Structure 1
């Protein structure tokens, strides 16, 4: 990593915001499966190959092309398009082997340029998404020894409406760079979480209210 200038950043568990590209891909596949599976949801694995094919041949805004074109350097010609004589498919489909071979060599030479352009488009998209995400985050400064509450983001099948999602309080044992905080509890080992899931805890015993002695004055006659 030092040789190639790679910065190694660790992400904590139960924080899917650090895997944005994976989450977007999974969300797209989930929507396709929701529309294709029948009443028997157990048949999702039978539809997975078709869902992946539809996902790979669909245009993606972050990279500016389809994943199929990013891998093979050309658009995908579906059999149904040739059967129904789609204009764009017949226009790009050349049955002359020599001409098609020369055109294919040009496409392969342009593949690296296509991938570089897709990388730049993806980088711009990620920067915009990061700015939008960071604009909604309130910066909190945590110090060692502070007491905090932890947001419980684990999946629950039966969640109570009136049950709080905050657990704790915990004590901050150590603060790491990139927003990782190590917490300590009285009845368990220390563990690391993302700082976005924490908030300050201001609980405790209420101090007794001291009422000063009041001097009484005689009433005016």
Structure 2
């Protein structure tokens, strides 16, 4: 249910939305925020009203012992969740980086520069996306290029290669 469809009574729905958010496992950690914070899973309030096997098998002494065990393992549980999150981020990074085409400019290449990055002229809907051409004068190891105008006067700033594209005249 979306809050904007409810109208003015969205405040009444806020607790159930927060409950849902806190008790849904996250993709990166495979754990719920509630379990990472408190060390155990939450019981849905509706389960207290109806008889369920979980409520029927409740024993105070066993519950206290299980709770202490859960608290002892809570740090290990959060460490495992952090390791899963790092693994998840690495998988996402490799997925997106697999589509990146590495291209190295060489000196004397003619390139165009993104207009939105240079901000030489105010941007509007009909303005061109690229400006130039410029000549690549020098390239650094980390992907930055020094550019020059066609009359060999240097452009005041260096530019990252991701903001440039090859110009074919």
Q: TM-score, normalised by structure 1?
A: 0.51
Q: Is the 1:169–1:201 Cα contact (8 Å) retained in structure 2?
A: no
Following superposition of structure 1 onto structure 2, how do residues 86-165 of structure 1 map, counting pairs within 5 Å?
86-87=52-53, 89-90=54-55, 94=58, 96=60, 98-142=61-105, 147-150=111-114, 152=116
Which ranges in structure 1 are unaligned for 5 or more consecutive residues?
1-31, 154-158, 207-221
2:33 matches 1:70: no
Change (3 A) 1:39 1:45: closer
Q: Which residue of 2 aligns with 1:199?
A: 164
SS at match of 2:5: coil
The two structures, once aligned, show a CA RMSD in angstroms of: 4.3
- Total equivalences in the alignment: 155
Change (3 A) 1:39 1:56: closer
Of 48-57 and 100-109, the range deviating more from structure 2: 48-57
Change (3 A) 1:112 1:182: farther
Change (3 A) 1:192 1:149: closer
Q: TM-score, normalised by structure 2?
A: 0.63
SS at match of 1:127: helix
SS at match of 1:115: helix
Change (3 A) 1:50 1:184: farther
Q: Is the 2:112–2:130 Cα contact (8 Å) retained in structure 1?
A: no
Aligned counterparts of 2:9 and 2:115: Cα–Cα separation in 1 = 35
Moved over 4 A (4+): 42-50, 142-146, 170-176, 181-186, 189-193
Which ranges in structure 2 are unaligned for 5 or more consecutive residues?
118-123, 150-155
